């Protein structure tokens, strides 16, 4: 087996990720079968065996708000339990610290490697799901006007609210106008599913950005409420606005991601009928 660092991803990586997704349900696939957007930049570490790519690690050098470079690792299902994952981890641990390594669905193999390499479990990100059999509450009046996102006009206002709403979050708080504009070019982007709560002066005070995945799954992509507008039920009202919208599109189910220690958000989502599907875990040296 040979480990090779690449500055640009090669065409052997998408098939490997597709095989991993077939076995594990992650990572998310692009609609066109190409490399997912989050893996198109950064550095790429591939494990080759006999000319076949059997493992892959992606390094997001932009990192998070705490300066951690973000690592995601994958081993082809047909080549597991041969030390490939350990070799990938050992190699990425040689690059500059600090690093944060993600284990999707709290994979037991990742937990074993983390224990052997003295990596601490530092963060848990829950995926929650809402089955279509769960009846939604009646949509409530948020006390402000709700309209949809207008490309070319609302990007900065959304970023400003997002920055205040997620100043504690290691990734979401780093959202930029360029990030929003780049997402507008993705095939799934729909301004009709991007809801903004605005005051009498049309100032954005909250938003609910929804997403529909290629497989027909709906997602509560981001709900952000300005601190000055929190505590009055606006978050729940905006969440319901997006949920009813997604249900109206005929999605198969609705998912969201939330930090395991975000008790207020968890309480809202559980009351709406969401339940935990699985846990993603971040490890750090």
Strands 69-75 and 99-103: parallel
46 strand-pairing partners: 4, 56
Record the tokens describing residue 143, joined without a space: 């006390």
pLDDT, residue 172, reads: 87
Give pLDDT tens digits for 109-124.
Answer: 899 999 999 999 999 9
Neighbours of 51 (CB within 10 A): 7
Is residue 226 within a helix (H) or strand (E), and if so which, with residue range?
none
| Residue whose tokens read 């959304």 | 158
How far apart are alpha carbons 207 and 104 in whole angstroms?
Answer: 28
Residue 73: φ, ψ to 5°: -125, 145
Q: What's the pLDDT tens digit per position in 182-238?
A: 999 999 999 999 999 999 999 999 999 999 998 899 999 999 999 999 888 899 999
Question: Cα–Cα distance between 237 and 159 in angstroms, integer?
Answer: 20
Contact 73, 55 (CB under 8 A): yes
pTM for the whole structure: 0.86
Judged on CB neighbours under 10 Å (0-12, 13-18, 19+), 81 is exposed
Successive 10-residue mean pLDDT values, the chain, 285 residues: 92 92 83 77 93 94 84 95 95 87 92 95 96 91 91 98 91 91 95 97 96 95 94 91 97 96 92 96 93
Residues 73, 29 contacting (CB under 8 angstroms):
no
Contacts with 273 (C-beta within 8 Å, 6 or more apart), sequence order: 130, 131, 134, 135, 136
CA distances from 63 to 42, 56, 60, 171, 180 (A): 10, 18, 6, 8, 18
**Which pLDDT does position 88 carry in this prediction?**
96
- Convert 77-109 into a string of H (helix), E (strand) and C (coil): HHHCCCCHHHHHHHHHCCCCCCEEEEEHHHCHH
CA distance 182 to 172: 15
Listed residue (200, 203, 190, 227) closest to 153, CA to CA: 203
């Amino acid at each position: 087996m040979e480990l090779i660092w690449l500055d640009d991803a090669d065409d052997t990586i998408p098939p490997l990720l597709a095989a991993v997704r077939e076995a594990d349900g992650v990572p998310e696939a692009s609609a066109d079968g190409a490399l997912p957007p989050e893996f198109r930049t950064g550095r790429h570490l591939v494990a080759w065996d006999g000319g076949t790519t059997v493992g892959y690690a992606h390094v997001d050098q932009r990192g998070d708000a705490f300066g951690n470079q973000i690592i995601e690792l994958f081993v082809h299902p047909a080549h597991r339990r041969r030390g490939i994952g350990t070799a990938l981890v050992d190699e990425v641990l040689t690059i500059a610290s600090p690093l944060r390594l993600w284990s999707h669905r709290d994979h037991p193999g990742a937990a074993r490697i983390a224990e052997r390499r003295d990596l601490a479990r530092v963060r848990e990100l829950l995926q929650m799901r809402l089955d279509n059999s769960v009846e939604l509450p009646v949509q409530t009046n948020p006390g402000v006007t709700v309209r949809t996102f207008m490309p070319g006009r609302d990007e900065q206002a959304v970023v400003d609210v997002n920055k205040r709403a997620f100043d504690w979050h290691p990734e979401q708080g780093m959202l930029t106008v360029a990030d929003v504009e780049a997402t507008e070019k993705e095939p799934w982007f729909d301004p009709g599913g991007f809801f903004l709560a605005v005051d009498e002066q049309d100032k954005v005070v909250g938003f609910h950005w929804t997403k529909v995945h290629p497989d027909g799954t709906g997602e509560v992509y981001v709900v952000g409420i300005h601190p000055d507008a929190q505590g009055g039920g606006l978050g729940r009202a905006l969440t319901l606005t997006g949920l009813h919208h997604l249900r109206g599109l005929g999605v198969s189910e609705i998912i969201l991601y939330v930090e395991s220690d975000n008790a207020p958000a968890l309480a809202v989502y559980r009351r709406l009928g969401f339940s935990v599907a699985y846990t993603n875990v971040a490890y750090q040296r």
